[in-house]
A and B are shown apart, each in its own frame.
Chain A
Amino acid sequence: MYYIGLDAGSTTTKGVLFTETDYIDKYLLATAGDPKGAMATVIDYFTTHYGKADKIITTGYGRKLLPSDLAITEITCHGKGANYLHPGITQVVDIGGQDCKTIRLNGNGGVLDFNMNDRCAAGTGRFVEVMMRTLGEDIATLDTFIQGATPVQINSMCTVFAESEVVSRVAKGEKREDIALGVCHSIAKRINGQHAKLQAPKGEAVLFTGGLSQSELFGEVLAQYLAAPVYRDDLGQFAGAIGAAQIGLKKFSLQ
C-alpha cells in the first residue's frame, strides 16, 4: 500500500510517499498563495510516478482544504516525523515560513508539551528571508553568505523595524554578511527563550527541522544559544509530511 503524507505549509507544500516498510520519494513546491492547488500538484506527482496512493494524510495549516483519509495537526506530525528521522529524540525545534514550534517528546515520538509562535514573523523563516532580501541576497545562499562573518547585534525583533535597522546598518557601511549573521543570532536567541518555556532538561539534544534547517550555519548558531547538540537531517524540511505518513500507515495498516 502507498501512503502520502502531505504537509500544506504557508511557504512550501511538502509531500512524501511511503509503503508500510519503506520511504519511496518526496516532492516539494512553493505554496505561492494557492495551498489547495499546491496540494493537488503533489498528489498528481506521486500518482503519475507510482499510481494512485491508497491513503492520503494531511497536515499543516491547509490540512482541511482537501478531502483526505486523516487530517492531523502539524505538532503531532512533527513529533512523529522527528522520531522517524532521529529515533529517541526528545526535543524538536521547527522553524517554518510562518511559525516556529518547539516540542518536547517522550522519546517515542509522542508529544509531551509544545508551544508555537504564530502571531508574529519574528522568530520564523520569513524573518530571515525578508532580511536577506533587504540585503539583496537569496535565502538559499545563506550559508555561503554568512561563512566567516562576525555578527552585529540586531536589536529590533519586529520584522518591519528590523528591516529598517538592517537598512540603516547597510547605510553606515557595515558588512552585509555581518548583518545577516546578526539576524540569525537574534532569531536563535528568541527561539531559545521560546524553547526554555518547555522547561526541558538543559543540554538535551535537539532535532532542528523545517525550511530553515537546511542551513548548517544557522544550526550551529542555534546550538550556541540552546547550549545543546543540534542535529539536522536532509529530510528535515519534510518532518511534518513524514510524521503524517507514519501516523497514517500505523493507523491504516493495522486495520
Chain B
Amino acid sequence: MKVKTELPEIFEDFGEARQQGFLKVKSLKDQGQPVVGVYCTFMPEELVLAAGAVQISLCSTSDETIPAAEEDLPRNLCPLIKSSYGFGKTDKCPYFYFSDLVVGETTCDGKKKMYEYMSDFKPLYLMQLPNMRDNDRSQKLWYEEIKAFKEKLEDFFGVTITEAQIRDAIILKNRERQAKKDFYHLGQLNPPALSGAEIFKVMYGSQYKFDKAENIASLEAATNAVKERYANGEHLEKKPRILITGSPMGGVTEKVIRAVEENGGVVVGYENCTVAKAVERLVDEDETDVYKALSDKYIHIGCACMSDNHDRLDLISNMIDDYQVDGVLDMVLQNCTPFSVESRRIKNFCNDEKDTPYMYLETDYSESDIEQINTRVTAFLEMLEG
C-alpha cells in the first residue's frame, strides 16, 4: 500500500480515483471478488463488506447517456435518474458492468419507478425505505429491510454473514467516516485552509478507493498535510463562506462550486450526499443489536425523500455555526420534486432561525446555464458583501 503524503499529489490522487477505479474493479473481479453497485447513501455498506464483497457507487452524473434513457423514461424527469438508467442501459459505466448485483432503495418516486425498468436488464434488489422515520412502525420496517438485505446477500453470493463480521465492518466503516469527517471539517478553518473544489475532489474520489485501509490512510495523510500547511501560515484569503446543500452533486454539477469560487466566494461545507449528509453520524458501536445500530444510523440520513426531514435542518443548523457560514446555496436538480418542494422550508429556516442568507439554484446536467448561474451566484455573493 502506497499512500501519498504531499499536497497537491494527494488531491490529484483523489481526483483520479474514479477513473483508476475502473481498472481496480476489473482486477478485483478477475480475482473473484463479488461487487455490489449502488446509487444511494441509504445502502448499509457494512453488510456488503461483511459478505466479503465490494460496494461501488454507480455512474449517474453525466448527460451523455440521457438521450438513451429518454427512449424509455419521460423527458421531464430528474437528470440524475435519467443518467443512472442511461448508463445501465447503454452499458457505458464500467462499474455497472462489473456489478454482480445492483441495489436500489425506494427513495424518490422517479428512482423507485426507474428501478422497475432497470431490473429488466440487470439483477436488481430493491430495499423498501420508509417515507417517515419518527415512528416505531417505520423504524421497524427499515430494521426488517436491513435484515432481509443481509439474507439476500447471503443467498445471492452463497455466503454466511455472522454478527461478528458485521460488527467488524461497522468499526471499519466508522473509522473511514471519522477519517472523512476529519478531512472535510478542515472547511471549518477561517481563513480557509483549502478550496471547496479541493474538499469535494477528495470526498468524491474517496468513494472510489475500494481498499478501506488505504482510503483511511490517504484521507488521514490529506488532513495532516493540509493542517501542516495551515500551521505554516498558508491559507486562502477571507471570502464569503458558502454552505452547499440540496440534491446530490458530482460531475457536471460541480459547475456550481466553480461558480462560487471563481466569482469571489469559497465553499466551506457541503450538506449533501457526497460529504456530510451520510457521513456525519456514526453507527453506534455499543448497540448490542447490530441491525438496530445500522437501521438507526441510515434512517437518519437527511434526504428530502423523508417526511418530515428535520434531520436535514439539524445538520444545516450545526454546519452554519461550525463552519461560520455567510450564505447557504441550495442546489436543486431540475424536476427533483423532494428537494425543490423542501427548499421553502430550508429558506425560511436559514433566514428566520439562523439569520443566514439563502439562495435557491436550479440546474441540470447541461453546460448551457453556466452564465446564468454565474450571474445569480455573483449577485448572491455581492449581496453577502453588502
Contact = CB atoms under 8 A, between A and B. Distances in A.
Most buried by A among B348, B371, B372, B379: B379
22 contacts: A61-B371, A61-B375, A72-B382, A73-B375, A73-B378, A73-B379, A73-B382, A74-B375, A74-B379, A75-B375, A75-B376, A75-B382, A75-B383, A76-B379, A111-B379, A111-B382, A112-B357, A114-B379, A116-B372, A116-B376, A118-B375, A119-B369
Nearest to A71: B378
A93 B378 CA distance: 19
Nearest to B371: A61
Given A75-B383, A112-B357, 7 more contacts: A75-B375, A76-B379, A110-B386, A111-B382, A111-B383, A113-B357, A118-B372
Main secondary structure of the interface of B (DSSP, over half): helix
Interface of A: 61, 72-76, 110-116, 118-119, 199
A119 B376 CA distance: 12
Contacts, number: 36
A10 to B, nearest CB: 12
Contacts of B360: 115
A118 B360 CA distance: 14
Nearest to A114: B379
Contacts of B378: 73
B372 A76 contact: no
A56 B369 CA distance: 28
Nearest to B384: A111
Interface in B347-369: 348, 357, 360, 369
A118 B377 CA distance: 14
A73 B384 CA distance: 13
A82 to B, nearest CB: 14
Nearest to A110: B386
A78 to B, nearest CB: 10
A136 to B, nearest CB: 33
A115 to B, nearest CB: 8
Contacts of A76: 379, 382-383
Nearest to B334: A119
Contacts of B357: 112-113
A110 B371 CA distance: 23
Nearest to B372: A118
A152 B378 CA distance: 40
A110 B372 CA distance: 21
Most buried by A among B369, B382, B386: B382
A199 B375 CA distance: 22
A199 B376 CA distance: 19
A111 B376 CA distance: 12
Nearest to B369: A119
Contacts of B372: 116, 118-119
A112 B348 CA distance: 13
Contacts of A118: 372, 375
A107 to B, nearest CB: 14
Nearest to A106: B386
A75 B379 contact: yes
A243 to B, nearest CB: 11
B350 to A, nearest CB: 11
Nearest to B343: A197
